[in-house]
Amino acid sequence: MKGQFTFLKMSLVGLFLLGGFAASSQTISTLADFPTADGMAGADALNVKKVYCLNDGVTIPAGSINGGTSTGLTYNWFRIDGNDHTQAAATLSTTTDGEDFVDNSITTPGYYIYRVSAENAETCESAVTEFMVYVLPNITPTIALTGNDSYCVGTSAGATLDASAVSNPTVTEVFAYTFEWYKTGETAPIATGAQLTFAAGAAYGGEYTVKAKYEIAPTCAEGTSAGLTITETALPTAPIITF
> Which of 40-44, 45-49, 128-132, 170-174 is the least confident region?
40-44
Rounded Cα distance between 102 and 105, Å, is 9
Residue 4 lies in a domain: no
What's the confidence (pLDDT) of residue 179?
97
- Of 183, 189, 185, 234, the C-alpha closest to 204 is 183
Are 45 and 193 a contacting pair, CB within 8 Å? no
pLDDT confidence tier of residue 83, bands split at 50, 70 and 90: confident
Please give the share of the chain, as a percent, with pLDDT higher than 70.
84
Residue 6: is its pLDDT beyond 60?
no
Q: Which CATH number is 79's domain given?
A: 2.60.40.10
Asked if the model's pLDDT at residue 192 lies above 80, the reply is yes
Query: pLDDT of 84-124, one tens digit each?
Result: 777 888 999 999 999 999 999 999 999 999 999 999 999 99
pLDDT of residue 162: 97
Residue 146 lies inside a defined structural domain of this protein: yes
232: β partners: 151
191-192 and 177-183: which strand pairing? antiparallel
Domain boundary among 71, 101, 136: 136
